[in-house]
Structure formats: C-alpha cells, structure tokens
Amino acid sequence: MTDAITAGGEMTSLLGKLKEREARKAEIIEEHADTRPIPMPARSEVEDRLAEWCELLGKSVQTGRSVLDRVLRGRIVFEPLDARYEFACPTRHDKPFSGLVVPATRWRPTECPLRMYRSAPRV
C-alpha cells in the first residue's frame, strides 16, 4: 500500500482501504486480548490415554461403543473410492475424525495400532 501511495494514484480509495485494514487489525488485537492458551497435556499423558482406549476398545463391543459415544458427535460417514472407502465424523473436541479403509491384507498388527506410535520419533 505504501508503494501505491508513493507512486501516486487514487488517494481517497487507498486511504479508505488503509483505514479498513487498521480497524480490522484493532478488532483482531482486541479479540486476542481475552483469549488464553489451552495447556497442552504432556506427551506421556496422551500416550497413556491412547493405550487405555486401545485396551477398552479391545475388551468388548459395548465398551468400545461407550468410548466412541464419548468422543464422536454424530455418525461416521463412509464414501466409496474405487476399492477403498474414506470415512469422516465430527468429534466432541472440534477435531475431525477421518481415515481410509483399504482391502484387508495378510499382515495384521499384533497390538493396538495406536501403541505403535509410542516409539515413533518426535518430529
């Protein structure tokens, strides 16, 4: 904007846009003044919770449904894509739950897939 002003041009429209931007900037600063960061739980706490959920989900269908009812909001929607399906569902934590279902292979994980990420290096 400063380049446009120094080069010359329609000053009224440039100043109007500049005032709009400054007003929006003030609004954003005011909105953020009242916000507080949400504390991030420790990585070990998240991993322990995932391990607990894996254990609960593996115990029984009723327990698995109970855990999913606590997390998911609504239905899981599956959409076919060639030989696979994409699925998605909103969660109660305002984060999407989504993934891909592919045809079964011979390989099966020997433990809960969520636990396999415990030893993954942090990026």
Q: Where are the domains of the chain?
A: 2-33, 44-117
pLDDT of residue 25: 92
Q: Is the pLDDT of residue 23 over 90?
A: yes
- What band does 119 get if pLDDT is binned at 50, 70 and 90? very low
Helices (H), the chain: 2-7, 11-33, 43-59, 61-71
Looking at the whole model, is its pTM more than 0.75?
Answer: no
Residue 118 pLDDT level (bands cut at 50, 70, 90): very low
**Separation of alpha carbons 121 and 29, rounded Å:** 37
pLDDT tens-digit map of 32-61: 887 777 788 888 898 888 888 778 777 788
pLDDT score recorded for residue 74: 86
Q: Which helix (H) or strand (E) holds 9?
A: none
| Mean of pLDDT values over 100-106 | 76
Nearest-10 crossing angle of helices 43-59, 61-71: 140
In sequence order, what are the beta bridge partners of 77? Answer: 88
20-38 CB burial, b ≥16 within 10 A, e <16: eeeeeeeeeeeeeeeeeee
